Amino acid sequence: MSDHLFSLRLFVRVAHKGSFSAAGREMNVPQPTVSRVIAQLEDKIGALLLTRTTRAVTLTEAGHDFLARVEKILADLDEAEHAVRGNGELRGVLHIGLSSSFAQRMVVPHLSKFLAKHPGLRIEMIMDDTRQNFITDGVDLGFRFGVLGDSAAVARKIGQWQRVLVAAPSYLARSPALRVPADLAAHSVISGPSYIGQVWVFRRGGEVSSVRVSGQLSTTVNEVATAAAMAGLGLVSMSRAGCAQEIASGQLVEVLTGWDMGQVDLHAIFPAGRAAIPAARAFADFMAAELANVLATAP
């Protein structure tokens, strides 16, 4: 890699990480070298790209403009190299933003198959059950469940699961009967903060039932909600894929099975303002195919 190309890639990582040391660790470069390379780049183009403080490194106005242009150039270069190689092998680093639950349950079990085809590729998972900021976190590809907010990012639907309501046998054994959605008024629901106090809608044939849910526990982490449900702390609603293992083992039991709670969509998200890198597109295609197989064999 030429010195100038290296400096551009290093600048992109510093811009996304907001730190010379973090970018250096990612690219295996000492922090003093990162500072020197970025200073030389700024001298070469004649503009201050980054503002340094004791707390953070942030982009200047010129830096924002330079970053957008450089990322497009680097993406085009990666695409050209990938096409010329002709063997489909991917190289470099792919930064994926996703929830810890989705990573553990749906990505990691399939990951060895993908990496075996691309030994020159390294994947960095940026896991957060809240939604990542693609710009500050430097995400090349994100996976998100549910309704997407307004965004200029490019989204591709790659999966859809039935939403289910489950609880531990111990919770159901000591709780009031749960035969129709209206019975939820006497039950405790475990969910994310945004769900507490919300109205859930159930459908059965032409019948529609709405109920306001409440509970004593909320969490932003899906795996914690699942663990809490298994501990008998209440009911939890999630995609069937999110609790398939626990349903199969009997640790959780699906309730109100005759009622439809709707679907949960999964989207692959590509950052706005730049072309998706080949590895991001390839991994989205791979996961779409793998998840289609999972859905095809799901009960």
Q: Considering only CA atoms, which of 21, 27, 25 is closest in space to residue 1?
A: 27
Q: Give the residue, 88 or 246, on which the prediction is more confident.
A: 246
pLDDT at residue 192 above 60? Answer: yes
C-alpha–C-alpha distance, residues 170 and 114, integer Å:
40
C-alpha–C-alpha distance, residues 138 and 150, integer Å:
19
For all residues of the chain together, what is the average pLDDT? 84
Weakest mean pLDDT among 37-41, 59-63, 76-80, 83-87: 83-87
pLDDT at residue 5 above 90? Answer: no
Mean pLDDT of 203-211: 92
Instruction: For the chain, state the CA radius of gyration.
Output: 23
Through-space distance between the first and last CA atoms of the chain, rounded to whole angstroms: 50
Domains along the sequence of the chain with CATH: 1-86 (1.10.10.10), 160-263 (3.40.190.290)
Give the DSSP letter of residue 186. Answer: G
Phi, psi of 48 (to 5 degrees): -80, 120
Single pTM value for the model: 0.71
So what's the pLDDT on residue 171?
96
Mean pLDDT of 47-66: 86
Where in the chain does DSSP place strands (E)?
50-52, 57-59, 92-98, 121-127, 141-145, 154-167, 189-190, 199-204, 207-212, 235-239, 253-254, 263-270
Mean pLDDT of 90-99: 85
